[in-house]
Structure 1
Amino acid sequence: MDFSQRLQQISANSDALTQIGRGLEREALRITNQGDLSAQPHPAGLGSALTNKWITTDFAESLLEFITPVSQDIDHLLAQLSDIHQFTYSQMGDERLWPMSMPCFVGSEDDITLAQYGSSNTGRMKTLYREGLKRRYGSVMQVISGVHFNFSFPDSFWQQLFGDQSAQARQDSVSEAYFGLIRNYYRFGWLIPYLFGASPALCGSFLRDHGSASDFEKLGNGTYYLPNATALRLSDLGYTNNAQSSLKISFNGLDQYLDGLNQAIRTPSDNYANIGVKVDGEYRQLNSNVLQIENELYAPIRPKRVAKNGEKPSEALCRGGVEYIEVRSLDVNPFSPIGITEDQVRFLDMFLTWAVLSPSAKMDDAELACWRDNWNRVVLDGRNPELMLKIGCNGERLLAKEWGLRVFSELEDVAKAMDNAAGNDNYQQTYQRLKEWIIHPELTISAQLLAQIKQHEGIGAVGKKLASSYKDELKSREFAFYSKNEFEQEVQASVEKQQLIEQSDTVSFDAYLEDYFAYLK
C-alpha cells in the first residue's frame, strides 16, 4: 500500500490518531541574574536529582532536566511541563534558566561541575560516566541543551494497520514500522532544524574550545554567527562525536541495530585507552571503548522501550521490541517559556505519522551518509533560498524549499485526518502557519532569533532579557495540572528513595562496576 491508502486505513478508527502518546524532556542551564553559569549545587528544594521523577540533572550540576509523564493530550502535556518549570523557579532563589540551546558564557572547563547523585554505587556510576564524557569531549560541549520528544502510536493504530496478529508477530511488525519511520526521519527530518532550529549563533567562549572563528561573522560582545544557519547545536561544533563516525549501526531493523550497538560498546578505542580507566586509584571513565555505555551513542532519533529495573536499554529492546521513539533534534525554543510550543508538538505528530505511513526502503551506509550531508547543509545554511539538497545518492539535487513543499503537500492530508478524528482544525492551523515558514525563511525561529541577537548586539543580552521575563511569567502563573503539594511530596519521596538506595549497597564500587560490565566479557 502507498501512503494515502495507509492513511485512509488508519483514519477508520479515530482513536488511532487521537490517542498518541507523548512525553517531553527539556534541558536548561541554571544561570545567575548576571547571566553567568551557576556555581551552586542542585537546589535542595528540588529533592534528589537521582530519583525525582520530574526534575533531574543531565551532564552538569547546573544543567537541569525536566521530564513529563506520557500524555495523550497536548494541553495536559504542556501544562505539566509548565508546572514543573514553575515549581523549579520557586526553589531557585535569584537564579533563572538560560533560554537557549547553546550555552551562555563559560569561562573555562573548570567552571562546570559534574552532576552529583550521592554516594550510592548507582549515583557514583552516573557521575563517573560524566567524568568520562568530560575527558573525551570536554565539558563545554556537554552543557548544550535540547528538548527531547518521546512519541508512540496507540495499540489501535497498529490494529488498523496490521489487523489481528499473534503477540510476537505484532511486536515484530511494530518494531519494523518504527525503523521505517527512523529511516524516513533521516531522509526528511532536516525539516525539523529548518523550521525549529534555534542556534544560528554562539558565544565566543564556546567557539574558543570547539573550532575556528574564521568561518563566522562576529557581533559585539563575542557573538559569532552564520548568516543562514539554523541549528549549530546539530553541527560538528555541537553535540556530536566524531569518534563514532566509523561505527556502522544499521537502521534496517531491530536485529541489525542491536548488533551494531552491541559491537560499538565492545569496540576498544586507542584514543580513550590513552586517558586511562583507573589511574592512581581514581577512575577517569567507565571503560575505554568507543561507547562507555549505550547512552553515549549520539543520534538525532532513537528507538526505545521502557526498561525494567536493572535492564539496559538494548536488553529492553531485545525483550519487547520498539515501544516508542525519542526525537532528539529539537533546539530549545527561546520564544517559549518552557522551550517548546503547541505548534511544534502538532508538527511532530503530523511528521512522524507521515514518516511511519510512507514507504521506507532499506538504507545502506552510503545512503545514510547522503542524508546526513543534507542535515549538515540545513543546519549550516538552511535559510539560504538557493540551498540545494540531495534527493538521492545519484547526485540529483532539488531546492530545499521545493522539496519541503512536496513533503508538506502530504502533511496536509495527515493534518486533515487528525482534525477529522478530533473534531476540530488545530492541525490544519499548524500546517498553514508552518507552510509559510517553508516559503518565507525569515519566519523561522532561527531567523527571528538572529534578528534579535543582531538588534541587541549579542546572545548574552537577548538570553538574559528572555530569562528574566520567563522567570517573572512562570512564577506569577497558577499551577494548571499539578499542585504545589504534589511537587513537595515528590521532593520528599525522592530524598527518601536516594537514602534507601545508598543504604542498600552491599558491594564496593569496584565490584559494582565489575558486575555491571560483566556482559562485555
Structure 2
Amino acid sequence: MATCLSLTDMLSGFSSADRLSSLRGIRRGLEREALRITPEGRLSMQDHPAGLGAALTHSHITTDYAESMMEFITPASDSMESLLNQLGDIHRHALRHLGQERLWPLSMPCFIGDQTPIRLAQYGHSNEGRVKTLYRQGLHHRYGSLMQVISGVHYNFSMPDSFWSEWQEIQAAKCQCKRFISDGYMGLIRNVYRFGWLVPYLFGASPALCSSFLNGRPTSLPFQSLGKGTLYLPYATSLRLSDLGYTNKAQSVLSINHDNLASYVGSVRRALHTSAPEFAAIGVKEGDEYRQLNDKVLQLENELYAPIRPKRSLRNGERTLCALERRGIEYIELRTLDVNPFSPLGVEAEQLRFLDLFLVWCLLRPSPALDEAEMARNRRNLNKVVLEGRRPGLQLESERGELSLRDWGEQLFDELALVAELLDKAYGRIQYQLTLQQHRAWLRDPSLTLSARLLDTLLAGELDNGVLGRQLAERYGQQLLEEPLRFWDEEYFAEEATASLAKQADIEAADHLSFDDFLSHYLAR
C-alpha cells in the first residue's frame, strides 16, 4: 500500500535536485469545437468541406454532433508554444476551405430558429460511420439537438513517466506501476470534483444566450433581456455548464464510483446495461429505421456528461472502457472550459498554464474517497458558480460548512502558490507564479473574469449575442486567414486529407457484416 502523504510532504519530496526534472514534460492536447456559420450568423447548411478530407478518419479536423460543428484536435505535446501553433494552423487551414463561412466564437450557439436545420454529422456509408451518426440520432431523440451544438474546449493532460517513477518512490508504493498511475489520476479526478468550480468562475464565458436556444421551453431562471433577443443572468459564468446545457436527468440516478479505476469502469458499464424507461419509450427501431443505438441510460461511454474523464488512446476497434481496463489511465480530459471569445483560437496560453497548475495541485493534494453526500454538495457548488458565480458574497458549501467563494478561493490559491513555486523551480522560470498572480486578481475582482468581460461588452454596446458573435467571427476569420502556418505546412494538410479519404475508403471496402450484425457485435464488445 502507498503511504498517504500531505501536500507539504509531496512538495518536499519533489523539491530535491534529483527529482525536480521529473516535473518537466507535462503533456497537453486540445480539442476545440466551433460551429460553421453563414455571413448572416446562421448555422451552416453545407456539407463538411470536401477539401478538408474525411471527418471519420482525419487526425486533426473532424465533426462533433452536427455536420456544421467542427472539432479541431491537436496531438499531445510537451511544448505550450507548439501546442498553440498546431491549434492555430488547424484553424488557419480549415478557414481556407470555408469560403464565406466563419467559425462561431462563443460557446452558446448562434441563432437557430428551430432544431430542424441541425443536420447530424455524416461519416460515410461504412458500418462504423453509420454507428457514429446513429449515436447522434439517439442524442437528438433523447435531449434535442440544441443542447448538442453547444461548443467547448477540452483540455487533455498527462504527467511524464519520470514523474510517476519518482512519486512511487516517494510514497514507497509497491503496487504495479499501471495501477499506481491510474490511482493517481483517479485522485486528481476526485479533487477536480471538489474544487473544479474554480475553472468556470475564472474561465466561464457564457453568461448570455440567444433566446432561440430556449425554443419556447419555460425556465425558472431569472433572465434579463438585452437587444432584440438576448437573455442573460447578471452574475452567471457558464450557462453552458448549467441545466440548460449538458444535462442528462436519467444519469442523476447513477452512482459513478471514482474510488479507483476498476470501480469507475464497473459503474459506467452498469449504466451501459441499465435500461431507462424514458429512452425505451423512444424505441430503438421503427421498421427499418433505427432511432438510437439502444435504450440504456448511456448508449456509449461518451454520453456520460462528466466535467472530467479518465482516458486512454484507443486501438483499432477498441471501446473506451476496454482500453482503460487493459492498459490503465493514460491522461485525463478536462471538459469545463468554455470557448474563450477573446481569443481567435478559443483558448489562451495563460489559461493553459493555470490549468497545468490546478491539475498538478489536484494530483499532489490528498484525495480521499467521495461519498454520495459530498458528490451532491460538489454538484450544488458547481451549479451555484455557473449561475451566479460573480454574485458578491456568494456562499459555497465546504466540508467545514458554508464559506464565501472569495474566502475559499483565497485558501486554495495559497496552496496553489506552493505548487507554482515548485513548477517554476523545475522549469527555471517564474511563469506559473505570474499566472497565479494574474488569476488571483480575478478571484478578488470578478469584473476581470471572462464572463464579466463578455457581459460588459454586450451591455456597453447594447449588443445582441448574435451581433457580437458575427463581429468576432469575421475579425478572427480575417486575422487567421492573413497569418502564415507556423508549425505545419499546406503539404502536410493535403497529405492528411488524402490519407483520411483513403482510410475511409478502406473501412467501407472492408465491411462484410450487415449493419444489424455489426451493431450487435459493436455494442457487445
TM-score by length of 1: 0.97
Q: Specify the SS of the correspondent of 1:111.
A: coil
Cα separation, 2, equivalents of 1:455 and 1:57: 35
Conservation of the 8 A alpha-carbon contact between 1:14 and 1:421: yes
Cα separation, 2, equivalents of 1:417 and 1:272: 50
Q: Specify the SS of the correspondent of 1:507.
A: coil
Q: Counterpart in 2 of 1:69?
A: 75
Residue 203 (1) aligns with residue 210 (2): yes
Cα separation, 2, equivalents of 1:78 and 1:48: 23
Cα separation, 1, equivalents of 2:406 and 2:460: 27
Give, as a single letter, the amino acid of the residue that structure 2 aligns with 1:8. S
Conservation of the 8 A alpha-carbon contact between 1:119 and 1:502: yes
Conservation of the 8 A alpha-carbon contact between 1:101 and 1:145: yes
Deviation at 1:10, TM superposition (A): 2.4
Cα separation, 1, equivalents of 2:331 and 2:196: 17
Give, as a single letter, the amino acid of the residue that structure 2 aligns with 1:222. G
Q: Counterpart in 2 of 1:125?
A: 131
Structure 1 residues 181-260: aligned runs within 5 Å: 181-212=188-219, 215-260=222-267
Q: Counterpart in 2 of 1:484?
A: 490
Cα separation, 2, equivalents of 1:345 and 1:220: 34
Structure 1 residues 394-405: aligned runs within 5 Å: 396-405=401-410
Cα separation, 1, equivalents of 2:391 and 2:215: 26
Deviation at 1:17, TM superposition (A): 2.1
Q: Specify the SS of the correspondent of 1:66.
A: strand
Q: Counterpart in 1 of 2:118?
A: 112
Pick from 457, 469, 476 the counterpart of residue 475 of structure 2. 469
Deviation digits for residues 330-365 of structure 1, max 9, x if unmatched? 000000100000011000100000011111111111
Deviation at 1:215, TM superposition (A): 1.6
Deviation at 1:166, TM superposition (A): 9.4
Structure 1 residues 211-360: aligned runs within 5 Å: 211-212=218-219, 215-360=222-367
Deviation digits for residues 347-406 of structure 1, max 9, x if unmatched? 0100000011111111111110101100000000000121000002x7x11110111111
Give, as a single letter, the amino acid of the residue that structure 1 aligns with 2:349. E
Pick from 68, 86, 94 the counterpart of residue 88 of structure 1. 94
Deviation at 1:143, TM superposition (A): 0.2
Higher alpha-carbon deviation: 412-421 or 467-476: 412-421
Higher alpha-carbon deviation: 170-179 or 30-39: 170-179
Q: Counterpart in 2 of 1:54?
A: 60
Conservation of the 8 A alpha-carbon contact between 2:357 and 2:416: yes
Q: Counterpart in 2 of 1:505?
A: 511
Deviation digits for residues 281-316 of structure 1, max 9, x if unmatched? 101000011111111110000011112211111111
Conservation of the 8 A alpha-carbon contact between 1:304 and 1:325: yes
Cα separation, 2, equivalents of 1:257 and 1:207: 34
Q: Counterpart in 2 of 1:423?
A: 428
Conservation of the 8 A alpha-carbon contact between 1:11 and 1:17: no
Q: Counterpart in 1 of 2:20?
A: 14
Change (3 A) 1:255 1:44: same
Conservation of the 8 A alpha-carbon contact between 2:114 and 2:215: no
Q: Following TM superposition, where does structure 1 have runs of at least 4 consecutive aligned residues deviating by more than 4 angstroms?
A: 164-168
Cα separation, 2, equivalents of 1:354 and 1:210: 41
Deviation at 1:518, TM superposition (A): 2.7
Deviation at 1:452, TM superposition (A): 1.0
Residue 99 (1) aligns with residue 114 (2): no
Q: Specify the SS of the correspondent of 2:116.
A: helix
Conservation of the 8 A alpha-carbon contact between 1:211 and 1:237: no
Deviation at 1:15, TM superposition (A): 3.1
Higher alpha-carbon deviation: 182-191 or 5-14: 5-14
Conservation of the 8 A alpha-carbon contact between 1:27 and 1:147: yes
Q: Specify the SS of the correspondent of 1:326.
A: strand
Q: Specify the SS of the correspondent of 2:517.
A: helix
Percent identity of paired positions between Structure 1 and Structure 2:
52
Pick from 436, 443, 446 the counterpart of residue 448 of structure 2. 443
Q: Specify the SS of the correspondent of 2:335.
A: strand
Cα separation, 2, equivalents of 1:7 and 1:81: 33
Deviation at 1:168, TM superposition (A): 6.0
Deviation digits for residues 212-270 of structure 1, max 9, x if unmatched? 27620011121001110000100000111111111111111111111110100000111
Structure 2 gap ranges (5+): none
Q: Counterpart in 2 of 1:517?
A: 523
Give, as a single letter, the amino acid of the residue that structure 2 aligns with 1:412. A
Give, as a single letter, the amino acid of the residue that structure 2 aligns with 1:298. Y
Give, as a single letter, the amino acid of the residue that structure 1 aligns with 2:14. I
Cα separation, 2, equivalents of 1:16 and 1:203: 47
Q: Counterpart in 2 of 1:5?
A: 9
Aligned length: 517
Conservation of the 8 A alpha-carbon contact between 1:333 and 1:445: yes
Cα separation, 2, equivalents of 1:130 and 1:7: 45
Higher alpha-carbon deviation: 299-308 or 118-127: 299-308
Higher alpha-carbon deviation: 421-430 or 134-143: 421-430
Cα separation, 2, equivalents of 1:478 and 1:350: 31
Cα separation, 1, equivalents of 2:367 and 2:317: 34
Change (3 A) 1:309 1:430: same
Cα separation, 1, equivalents of 2:152 and 2:281: 31
Deviation digits for residues 162-200 of structure 1, max 9, x if unmatched? 129899611111111111111110111100000000000
Deviation at 1:103, TM superposition (A): 0.3
Deviation digits for residues 85-125 of structure 1, max 9, x if unmatched? 00000010000000010000001111100000000000000
Conservation of the 8 A alpha-carbon contact between 1:210 and 1:237: no
Change (3 A) 1:211 1:332: farther
Give, as a single letter, the amino acid of the residue that structure 1 aligns with 2:441. E
Structure 1 gap ranges (5+): none
Output the aligned Cα RMSD: 1.4
Cα separation, 2, equivalents of 1:11 and 1:206: 50
Residue 34 (1) aligns with residue 40 (2): yes
Structure 1 residues 361-400: aligned runs within 5 Å: 361-392=368-399, 396-400=401-405
Structure 1 residues 126-145: aligned runs within 5 Å: 126-145=132-151
Pick from 409, 418, 423 the counterpart of residue 414 of structure 2. 409
Residue 153 (1) aligns with residue 159 (2): yes
Conservation of the 8 A alpha-carbon contact between 1:387 and 1:399: yes
Pick from 174, 180, 201 the counterpart of residue 173 of structure 1. 180
TM-score by length of 2: 0.96
